[in-house]
Amino acid sequence: MDRNSKRLARIGAGLAAALGASAIAWSAAGAHADPADGGQAAHPFIINGQQAAEGQYPWLVALGYANETATPYENQFCGGSAVTEQVVLTAAHCVDWIEPDEFAIYSGSVDLESGDIAATEVADVHVAEDYQDPTTFANDWALVRLAEPIDVEPIGLDRDTAESESFEVAGWGLDENGRYPTVAHWVEVPYVADGPCGRAYGGGFDADSMLCAGDLDNGGVDSCSGDSGGPLTAADENGEPILAGVVSWGNDCALAGYPGVYSEVASFTDTIDAILADWETEA
């Protein structure tokens, strides 16, 4: 088993356990575990983005196994965003199948093979109480509290449900060649309204907790397997980046007619504030 299929198998196992039935996003991951099937132009997979520059997303972190015999690159299985120096926002499906002592937060560089990458222990995980309610991937978010502060620049939360026209998404997930890059990639993705997204995905789409982005007509730009949990950012009225979404799911990656689906941060900022306040008083 190569590194990629091992990681996909673990995520798949977690999802399968959580969901019972097969989920759209995970059948996509399974398909791409076989390079003979993925990687070609028919499935352009961060899909058609570019390498992130050092410091471009100073809140971007990786979730990876706490396995010191493997490298951070080999351990990585999801993305996340630092919302404080000691708390990371990620997807619920990234952490609901693993114990806090079995994974770590990797931070310090966009390059997972850089010597600047540090692994930090997880102290606590809070999975959204309404995760999978009312649909399979509804409220797909979780907060991870670290054992100690890390050297990141936390990103502010988008508190406004009025969507911006376009976003950036970043992570170490599959690229258009069906490979996991060592340096994070990013791509710009246009907003897709709830109406067309709901028509594309039917009953799986929960407008209250999800936000869609991608090129609905042409496909070609998207997040993909391994990007889950990572940041979808918008610009606030001053042009400063704010966190609008968390990479969650989609039908395959970058297909025309099927945008990427993100947990909609503005719909759970109050809950995040309450949890952060709780952890603050505990600390």
Count of other CB atoms within 10 angstroms of residue 275: 18
* Cα distances (angstroms) measured from residue 77 to each of 65, 93, 172, 254, 275: 8, 11, 9, 20, 25
244 interacts with ligand ARG by CB under 6 A: no
SS3 152: coil
Rounded Cα distance between 83 and 2, Å, is 33
Q: How far is CA 170 from the centre of its chain?
A: 8
224 interacts with ligand ARG by CB under 6 A: yes
DSSP assignment letter at 222: B
Our answer to whether residue 107 is catalytic in this structure is: no
Apex 272 CA angle, 196 and 118, nearest 5:
100
Q: How far is the CB of 283 from ligand ARG (least distance, A)?
A: 30
Our answer to whether residue 248 is catalytic in this structure is: no
Among 25, 82, 92, 216, binds ligand ARG (CB under 6 A): 25
Our answer to whether residue 43 is catalytic in this structure is: no
Q: Are 18 and 36 in contact (CB under 8 A)?
A: no
Among 4, 76, 132, 225, binds ligand ARG (CB under 6 A): 225
96 interacts with ligand ARG by CB under 6 A: no
223 interacts with ligand ARG by CB under 6 A: yes
Question: CB-hemisphere CA count at 13 Å for 234?
Answer: 25
Q: Which CB sits closer to ligand ARG, 76 or 86?
A: 76
- Residue from 43, 111, 126, 140 carrying the catalytic annotation: 140
158 interacts with ligand ARG by CB under 6 A: no
- Residue from 43, 93, 126, 185 carrying the catalytic annotation: 93
72 interacts with ligand ARG by CB under 6 A: no
- Is the peptide bond between 134 and the residue preceding it cis, with omega within 30 degrees of 0? yes
- Residue from 81, 228, 248, 263 carrying the catalytic annotation: 228
Scanning 55-63, 115-123, 158-166, 223-231 for contacts with ligand ARG by CB under 6 A, the matching segment is 223-231
Q: Are 165 and 48 in contact (CB under 8 A)?
A: no
Q: How far is the CB of 115 from ligand ARG (least distance, A)?
A: 26
222 interacts with ligand ARG by CB under 6 A: yes
Active-site residues, by number, are: 93, 140, 228
* Binding-site ranges for ligand ARG (CB under 6 A): 11, 25, 173, 222-228, 247, 249-250, 253, 260
